[in-house]
Amino acid sequence: MCFLFLNSTRTEARTGRHAKTVSKQQVQKGQKTVSIESNDSLNLEQHSGNASWYSYRGGLFAASTEFKKGSVLRVINPVNNKYVDVVVNDYGPNRRKHPYRIIDLDKMAFKQIAQLKSGVINIIVCPLKTF
Q: Structural domains in the chain? A: 5-43 (no CATH), 47-129 (2.40.40.10)
Per-residue tens of pLDDT for the chain, all 131 residues? 454 333 333 333 333 444 433 334 344 444 444 443 433 444 568 899 999 999 988 899 999 999 999 999 999 999 999 999 999 999 999 989 999 999 999 999 999 999 999 999 999 999 999 88
Question: What is the pTM assigned to this prediction?
Answer: 0.67
Work out the burial of residue 1: count CB atoms within 10 Å of its CB; fewer than 13 is exposed, 13-18 middle, 19 or more buried.
middle
pLDDT of residue 22: 35
Q: How many CA atoms are closer than 13 Å to the CA of 104, on its beta-carbon side? A: 17
Backbone φ and ψ for 110, nearest 5 degrees, come out as -60, -40
How many CB atoms lie under 10 A from the CB of residue 26? 13
